[in-house]
Amino acid sequence: MSNDLFAQINNAVLDLQGSDYQSYLRPLRQLGRLLAHDDLRVANEALTAGVDLEAFLHSSEATQGGMVGSAELLWPEDPREDLALRFLLVRKAGDDPDFAFQFSHTFFAGSSSKIMSSINAMTRQLIIPFVRDYKAHVLSGGQAQAKLVMPHSKRVFIVHGHDAEARETAARFLGNIGFEPVILHEQANRGRTVIEKVEANSDVGFAIVLLTPDDLGRARDGADLEPRARQNVLLELGYFIAKLGRDRVCALKRGDVVIPSDFAGVVWTDWDTAGAWKTALGKELQAAGYEVDWNMVMR
C-alpha cells in the first residue's frame, strides 16, 4: 500500500477544512475518488461486507426531533461496523453532493442553519476521525482491535567464546549505535551457577552469538579434528533461540567454524574484516523492529 495514496487523502481533507461554499465540493469529491482507488478495493470489500448503510440512515433519521440538526447517528458497538459505516457515508457524500448537503444538515447543523457550518461540523466530527482510523485499519491489515505493544528492550546479549577481540568489537559497535551490550562475565555472580546467571541476564530483546573457532573436535570415527565453537556458545545459542525466537538471534561466524547440524539450515552472517557484518547485523536488528541509525552503522 503506497503511503502516497494516504498523503493525497490527507491533502483532500486539508483542502476540505479550508474550503468555503464555492469550493467544498471539489475536495469532497476528490476524497470519494481516492477512497474508491483500486489499491484499496480488497480492504474496502472486507471492511464493508454485510454492512447496511441505508438501514443505518433510516434508523438514525427516525431520531429527528423538532429542531434542525437534532437527529442522532446510531453508531453500532462493533468497531469494524462503525468504521465501515463511516467509510460508506464519506464515500456517498463524495459521490453525491445532494446527499452530502442533506446529511450534514440533518445530523450536524446544530443551532445554525448555514450550509458551511454543517459541512465544517461534518468534516471535524466525522471525516477527520474517519481518515485517521481508516488509515490505521488498512495499514494494520484489518486488525481493528487495539493491543498493548511493549517497546523492545535495547539490551543485547553477546554470547561468546575465547575470542576477546570479536567480543569487544561487537560490544563497542552495539554501544555506538545506541544498544546496551550484555556480556556475562561482566555481570555480578551473586553465588549463582553459570546457567542461572544466563537466565538472570536474559531479559534482553536480542542476542548475538559469536561462532569462533575456539575448540577442536571430531566424531568418534572421524579422521580429522575440526574447528568448533565452544560448548557453552552452542548451549546459549539454543537457549536464546528458544527464549527470543530465531528472528531475534543473529549468529556471527568468524573464520573456519563447523556449523552445528541442527543449525545448518539457518542463515548466519560471516564476520568479515571489511566490516560488512555491521551492515548485516543492522539489517537484522531493523527486521526485528528496532530503529537503526544507519549513519552510525556506516561510521
In a domain? residue 10: yes
- Are 134 and 159 in a shared domain? no
- Are 39 and 132 in a shared domain? yes
| Residues spanned by the domain of 63 | 3-139
Alpha helix stretches (DSSP H) within the chain: 3-17, 25-35, 41-48, 53-61, 79-95, 97-108, 115-122, 128-139, 164-176, 194-200, 231-244, 276-287, 294-297
Identify the residue whose cell numbers are 502516497. Answer: 4
Q: How many domains, the chain?
A: 2
C-alpha cell at 29: 469529491
Say which residue, 83 or 223, is predicted with more confidence. 83
Residue 190 belongs to domain with CATH number:
3.40.50.10140
- What is the spatial distance between Cα 187 and Cα 180, in angstroms, rounded to a whole number? 13
- Are 111 and 223 in a shared domain? no
- Are 7 and 125 in a shared domain? yes
| Mean pLDDT, the chain, whole residue set | 87
Domain end residue (candidates: 139, 172, 192): 139
- What is the spatial distance between Cα 145 and Cα 138, in angstroms, rounded to a whole number? 13
- Are 178 and 288 in a shared domain? yes
The confidence score (pLDDT) of residue 58 equals 94
The confidence score (pLDDT) of residue 143 equals 63
Per-residue pLDDT band at 263 (split at 50, 70, 90): low
In a domain? residue 229: yes
The confidence score (pLDDT) of residue 1 equals 46
pLDDT tens by residue, 8-39: 999 999 999 888 889 999 999 999 999 999 99
Per-residue pLDDT band at 211 (split at 50, 70, 90): very high
- Are 159 and 112 in a shared domain? no
pLDDT tens by residue, 162-180: 999 999 999 999 999 999 9
The arithmetic mean of pLDDT across residues 212-218, rounded, is 87
Q: Which of 32-46, 106-120, 163-177, 242-256 has the lowest mean pLDDT?
A: 106-120
- Are 226 and 164 in a shared domain? yes
237 and 209 Cβ atoms separated by less than 8 Å: yes
The confidence score (pLDDT) of residue 293 equals 87
Say which residue, 76 or 140, is predicted with more confidence. 76
The confidence score (pLDDT) of residue 27 equals 94
The confidence score (pLDDT) of residue 239 equals 93
The confidence score (pLDDT) of residue 3 equals 57
- Are 199 and 72 in a shared domain? no
The arithmetic mean of pLDDT across residues 248-273, rounded, is 77
- Are 103 and 170 in a shared domain? no
Percentage of the chain beyond pLDDT 70 is: 90
The confidence score (pLDDT) of residue 256 equals 85
Q: Which of 236, 235, 185, 189 is closest to 208 using CA atoms? A: 236
- Are 125 and 159 in a shared domain? no
pLDDT over threshold 80, residue 99: yes
Percentage of the chain beyond pLDDT 90 is: 53
- Are 38 and 171 in a shared domain? no
The confidence score (pLDDT) of residue 134 equals 93
The verdict on pTM exceeding 0.85 is no
The confidence score (pLDDT) of residue 261 equals 64
Per-residue pLDDT band at 266 (split at 50, 70, 90): low
In a domain? residue 242: yes
Domain end residue (candidates: 114, 139, 164): 139
Q: What is the CA radius of gyration of the chain?
A: 30
- Are 25 and 126 in a shared domain? yes
Domain end residue (candidates: 110, 139, 168): 139
In a domain? residue 150: no
